[in-house]
Structure 1
Amino acid sequence: MDSISANDSFIHFNKKCYHALNEHLKKNNFSKIFILVDENTHQHCLPIFIDKIETNVAIEIIEIESGEENKNIDTCVGVWNTLSELNADRKSLMINVGGGVITDLGGFVACTFKRGIAYVNVPTTLLSMVDASVGGKTGVDLGVLKNQIGVISNPDLVLIETRFLNSLPVNQMRSGLAEMLKHGLITGESYWNKFLDLSKLSLDDLDELIYESVIIKKNVVLQDPFENGLRKTLNFGHTLGHAIESFYLSDPKKPTLLHGEAIIIGMILACYISTELVGFPKESTLAIKDLFTNYYGHTNIDKNDYASIIDLLKYDKKNNHGNINFVLLESIGKCKIDCIVPEEVIIDAFNFYALK
């Protein structure tokens, strides 16, 4: 697969990853290399990755705990302190090897340490490969509120080595697939139709689908790097999806919902709202609900929790002037942004999702 240029960053795939990284190390006089991992990528990915690095520059490994609950400023402070203790300077390089938590947090740490050091992202989950790999969004959560603190800044390189997916559990693979399904809904029938029989998808299909998903997101981001218009379409399903994810994170009695699992619910709700407000075909909404729930199962959301989830919408990053802005679908591949949705329609959407 050809490498992809995205603004001032390059995305490389599989065998080209290590050649590109080693050339980058040769061209730049980095003082030290810091590799950020969690306990999972330390065990499963780092041995493969570090064996391919060709450099005489000193390498230090920094490990943080995995999980969305650790994507916060406290973890950043720990990494910043470790960088200081290990004498990192402005010519240091940070390489983030992990899923979205690692690449988001590691990118933010790099962008803010000594007002910015170079960094490289090595996404190791399907979600991070197709979502966090493009666009330069870095950041952390504020309590249970998703991605409230951060900056937009591109890494020098993104290295997508799909071999790392072999170590992922099924639920993590499904979580990543949710973002690819979103790309299909907002882009058009050609890509969307490749997912209509999810039972037939295999790991062999993934390389091509990942590549196409990265191209889709890159094309959107290049036209609107700071999310003033078109890039908002990438948030389809995320307004309510993030609120649901945050709500479930806030209550230890609730089952754990991965990002993609929450976004799947958010997309079903957004399809219903789209039908009600902008004319998205009802039969398409019903078909999407069936497809998603057959593959992902059904989460029982208590009616008593609707108000608490809706209250979290006020923290959504797309909001402005006190308005909660939704991305809706007029048809597959045709989005309408900055839509104001009455609360009663949101409640109706939850009731629609609850029907089995």
Structure 2
Amino acid sequence: MSDVVVAGIGMIPFAKPGASAPYHEMGTEAVKLALADAGLGYEKIDQAYVGYVYGDSTCGQRALYPVGMTGIPIVNLNNNCSTGSTALFMARQMIASGALDCVLAVGFEQMKPGALGSVYTDRPSAFEEFDAVADQLIDAPGIPLALRYFGGAGLSHMKKYGTPLDAFAKVRAKASRHAKNNPLALFRKEVTADDVMNDQVIWPGVMTRLMACPPTCGGAAAVLVSERFADKHGIGKEVRIAAQAMTTDTPSTFKAGDMMQLVGYDMAKEAASRVYESAGIGPGDLDVVELHDCFAHNELITYEALGLCGEGEAGKFINDGDNTYGGRIVTNPSGGLLSKGHPLGATGLAQCYELTRQLRGTAGATQVEGAKVALQHNLGLGGACVVTLYKRH
């Protein structure tokens, strides 16, 4: 397995439901931007992986045919909120194994307003066992599914380590400070921790509205190539995927009796461990991280799962400013899902977009000075977690 070059990236501004173009137009535009960034025509693409959660089969073809109809394999993927990085994972595998030289990964989502819910209610849900465990661990009648899971995980951390509610508010405030410099983010208004604490309460003592990411529409894409392809076509090789791991749930998800495990803490920890070992580095070598902050609660517990700080030390990590500019590791310079938005299929590739720009040194107002090593964490309940390590060469 060899390093994989990130040749081109593309992302469109994220928008509220009802304010975006249709899904296929968002996907088409993101792909065109990625191809232009790589300096390549669609005819050079060997294969494409397309991710989305809410859509019919072959929506990928609907989005890619306006770009070109070359007859290549187009694989449609759905892995919940980790869908975009799953497309990236598959694309990277094809390049790293030597099977292909130029692969496209694209993700998009056209979402509806409101909390996430099941679409197919006439058959067993993928979350039946998750719900059964959650019902045993927390008493939160009437709280929507995702809020119950991640709020419950935050509540677990609060009980274990004495984490105050305002720690989550500080995470959300940090996200807004970062997003104000990102023209592609959905919410660019800066808010304070007090603003977050005083916002609408959606779970007393656990969560306010601003601690949750909004439903969002958008698209993002990446073109990955082999080193030999890059050399042949004069493509810059400065940003590469040096290591990547994908994990799914283990028995601890259901048997640990902990909401943090139920929302993927062990998945993230294991994926990160594999990546660090493969790359021969540790979390202390990271300059910038884009992680899956679908809720402020998940960002806080993920600091610990990724080893950015020790277990039970996330509150101090936040209070010391080690999660932002001037601190140890800048997390979510894009504003993250909390401020940038979370169009499920596009999120993982939007993270790739931000980190590639960071390592190129072209991130503009969100730039982390001297960034050379970047980590991406993308999580989907049900479940799957993808952790990707990028290096600048």
TM-score scaled by length of structure 2: 0.31
**Relative contact order, CA 8 A, sep 6+: which one is greater?**
2
TM-score scaled by length of structure 1: 0.33
- The structure in which a higher percent of residues are helix is 1
